Structure 1
Amino acid sequence: MDGQAIAMPAALDRPLAEARDQPEDGAAVRVGALFDAHHQRIYVMARRLTRGSEDARDVVQETFLRAARSPHSIPHGASNEEAWLVRVLINICRDRWRHAEVRTRAVLAGHVRAAEASSPEPGLLARAMVREALERLTPRRRAILVLYELEGATIPSIARMLRVTPVTVRWHLSMGRRELAKALGGNTT
């Protein structure tokens, strides 16, 4: 995780199952246990959905703050908890993408032009081009592509996380791949 840990206010050692059935004090314990159980995977996903480790830490923090604000809305069961956290994370990222869309495109275009002018390594330029192409996708398509292609999530699990049908996931995956190929100058068929 970039050598920097994400810290929760208090280190909590009680298992999540015990924390779930506690009153108000238990809510803090439950959120702490939730953090301990899922923060690394959520951070890795956030890192892939954001521009850098700083942004990733910010969205992970916001994800767990939202969990702390409404601990009773978190479903029971490890896979359900993780799916809920991923959905919150994606929603936070969508909000950020929407608010920064114009600014982000201008900054990326400037970075790509500067990178092309200074003849960087081909790998760096390719990554910048892919990142710019991903930025052009709708938030849902970008999230689905990242979850499937980079995180290795299955179509049924993505459908559960995003509360859509598997057919919708496959359609967005197909359309997203086409849009990426077109943006990168590849074959669109």
Structure 2
Amino acid sequence: MATDGNDPDEALLAGVGRGEASAVRTLLDRRLPRILALSRRLLNDPGEAEDVAQETFLRAWKQARAWKPGAARFDTWLHRVALNLCYDRLRRRRETPTDQPPEQVDPGPAPDAGLLASDLSQRVEAALAALPDRQREAIVLCHHQGLGNIEAAAVMAISVEALEGLLGRGRRALKASLADLRGED
């Protein structure tokens, strides 16, 4: 995917390639929160999400010197790296047999009415986690990461039409899972 040279991260990435500490700090400040949020939503494990974010930026630092401006937007490439690292961890989870089932979060309402907002957030996160992987990724990239359909499709290496199909199915599934919150059945 070619860009028109308007990648806001190109100058910072060049500074990172030269070893400029201020460029590293600025790029981390700009991109780390989004990569952490993506990883947390896909993995549902804050520790693993931090590991993925760290590995993502290590790869970015290694790539910084050889980065070819105009080949792709850095933010799109960074999301793709984080997504691939999340895929790897999710695959390992499926492949790792355990003697005991994992702890399950109680999906019921919180006992304290004052925690209603927290309960709502947990319900939404649980409904999101219950989506098939590709639908969840599309929803997270577009609605939580703020990527446009074209960028999200590029990150997922699919067509825009395929992304829109995933978004539609994911939204319908979320709406059905959370219908009781809106008084629908």
**TM-score normalized by the length of structure 1:** 0.66
> Contact 1:42 / 1:86 at 8 angstroms: preserved in 2?
no
For 1:80 and 1:157, how far apart are their aligned partners in 2?
A: 9
Match status 1:90 vs 2:83: yes
Match status 1:66 vs 2:63: no
For 2:29 and 2:86, how far apart are their aligned partners in 1?
A: 16
Letter in 2 for 1:81: F
Q: CA separation of 1:75/1:131 partners in 2, compared to 1, >3 Å: closer, same or farther? A: farther
Query: Which sections of structure 2, spanning at least 5 residues, go unmatched?
Result: 1-10
What does residue 128 of structure 2 align with? 134
Percentage of matched positions with identical amino acids: 26
What does residue 7 of structure 1 align with? none
> Contact 2:149 / 2:160 at 8 angstroms: preserved in 1?
yes
Match of 2:36 among 29, 40, 46: 46
For 1:31 and 1:70, how far apart are their aligned partners in 2?
A: 16
For 1:31 and 1:143, how far apart are their aligned partners in 2?
A: 32
Query: Which deviations, in whole Å up to 9, do the C-alpha atoms of 1:35-84 show, x marking residues without a partner?
Result: 74255324334224414654443221010223345557755249611111
Q: Which has the higher contact order (CA 8 A, sep 6+)?
A: 2
Letter in 2 for 1:143: E
Cα offset, 1:160, TM superposition: 2.2
For 1:178 and 1:54, how far apart are their aligned partners in 2?
A: 30
Cα offset, 1:15, TM superposition: 4.9
The DSSP-based 3-state class of the residue aligned with 1:112 is: coil
> Contact 1:63 / 1:85 at 8 angstroms: preserved in 2?
yes
Cα offset, 1:106, TM superposition: 4.4
Tell me the matched-pair count.
164
**TM-score normalized by the length of structure 2:** 0.67
For 1:62 and 1:31, how far apart are their aligned partners in 2?
A: 18
Match of 1:125 among 91, 103, 119: 119
The DSSP-based 3-state class of the residue aligned with 1:111 is: coil
Higher helix share: 1
For 2:59 and 2:144, how far apart are their aligned partners in 1?
A: 25
Match status 1:37 vs 2:27: yes
> Contact 1:31 / 1:68 at 8 angstroms: preserved in 2?
no
The DSSP-based 3-state class of the residue aligned with 2:83 is: helix
For 1:45 and 1:122, how far apart are their aligned partners in 2?
A: 28
For 1:48 and 1:166, how far apart are their aligned partners in 2?
A: 20
Letter in 1 for 2:127: A
Cα RMSD for the two superposed structures: 3.6
